[in-house]
């Protein structure tokens, strides 16, 4: 079971994605902005699914809390709107998706990421530190 945080302001889209992810057995949290996501307490998510707008307009001091080895999936409304992200975020980005069109690909990526984390033992790590916060 992967812990996933969905970040964006399209409530209907995120609600549909959350229902699908919950149906697959994943733990899902919501945030409207990256600042709000950084303020969430509890277990850190392994995957963050963020709208391109929330990353671009999050501000330079925001962070995205992820577990060590976590990944970012960025989504937008079309491939033409693919954002130019800072280098640190580009390295952490697993994919850029057009949602809701590619929602099946999102589910496959989350499942694959969870399987790989379990296989490599990353899902069992308890370490935390500055490397688990993506700054942009």
Gap between the Cα atoms of 110 and 101, Å rounded: 16
Judged by average pLDDT, the poorest of 29-38, 77-86, 119-128 is 119-128
Judged by average pLDDT, the poorest of 32-36, 73-77, 82-86, 112-116 is 82-86
**What does pTM read for this prediction?**
0.83
Between 25 and 57, the more confident residue is 25
Cα angle, residue 108 at apex, residues 103 and 114 outer, rounded to 5°: 130
The burial of 132, by beta-carbon neighbours within 10 Å (0-12 exposed, 13-18 middle, 19 or more buried), is given as: middle
Q: What is the pLDDT of residues 85-107, one digit of tens each?
A: 877 788 888 999 999 999 999 99
């Amino acid at each position: 079971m992967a812990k996933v945080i969905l970040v964006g302001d399209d409530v209907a889209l995120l609600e549909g994605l959350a229902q699908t992810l919950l149906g697959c057995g994943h733990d899902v949290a919501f945030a409207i902005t990256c600042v709000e996501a950084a303020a969430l307490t509890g277990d850190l998510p392994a995957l963050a699914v963020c709208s391109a707008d929330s990353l671009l307009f999050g501000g330079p001091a925001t962070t995205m809390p992820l577990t060590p080895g976590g990944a970012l999936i960025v989504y937008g409304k079309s491939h033409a709107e693919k954002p130019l992200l800072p280098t640190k975020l580009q390295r952490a980005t697993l994919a850029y998706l057009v949602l809701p069109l590619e929602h099946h690909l999102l589910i496959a990526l989350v499942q694959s990421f969870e399987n790989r984390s379990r296989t490599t033992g990353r899902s069992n790590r308890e370490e935390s530190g500055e490397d688990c916060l993506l700054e942009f």
